[in-house]
Amino acid sequence: MATGPSFPHRGRFAFRFAANVFVGSTIVWAVLSRFEGVSPIWAIAAMVASTDPQVDVARRMIRSRLTNVFVGAAVGLVFLLIGGSTPWKLPFALAATVLISSYLVGVPTMWRQAPITAALVIASGLSQHTASAGVNAALLKVAEVIFGCFVGLAVSWLLSSLLPIPAPSGSSEARKEDNSR
């Protein structure tokens, strides 16, 4: 069972998370479906992973997620640009991304996003016939993911401003409120 600052989502948190996902997926779909060659699927996945009923949790998630997206994108692009077009690039790039993310970057939250992004970049690139088309396709997928992350954070902030939920007991925010009384 997953754990985290606002998991499991029950009661008001479940409804807020559902509202965040509803609003966020509507925004992502409405915006990205207007562009030719763009798929909102990866952006929606990123939005769901980046939103949270608590804005501070969403902010931490997006920071970690974006760091690891950039690591995965960079490693994926390097592997995409070196050598020929071979599916063997994928396992080597994923292993390298895991090691770079683990030993050099060291952002434990959402660390799996780095190899996921590397896989997305390489798979998008290998599906094209030229290196430049591959890089363009890969960068477009990364842009979709980044857009979804920012929509998730924006929706978290907007809904928490419009429909505030009291901090759960035991959280740092709840302790601050108790200490101020």
Mean pLDDT (whole number) for 153-179 = 73
What value does the mean pLDDT take over residues 85-92? Answer: 86
Q: What integer is the mean pLDDT of 20-35?
A: 96
Phi-psi region of 85 (alpha: psi -120 to 50; beta: other; left: phi over 0): beta
CA–CA distance, 25 with 28 (Å, rounded to integer): 5
Whether the pLDDT of residue 127 is over 90: the answer is: no
Whether pLDDT at 93 is above 80: yes
- Please report which helix (H) or strand (E) contains residue 165, including its range: none
Model-level pTM? Answer: 0.79
pLDDT digits (tens, 9 = 90+) for 42-77: 899 999 989 998 899 889 888 888 999 999 999 999
Token digits for 128?
Answer: 């094209």
Asked if residue 173 has pLDDT above 70, the reply is no
For residue 6, what pLDDT is reported? Answer: 52
Task: Pick the more confident residue, 73 or 8.
Answer: 73
- DSSP structural state of residue 3: -
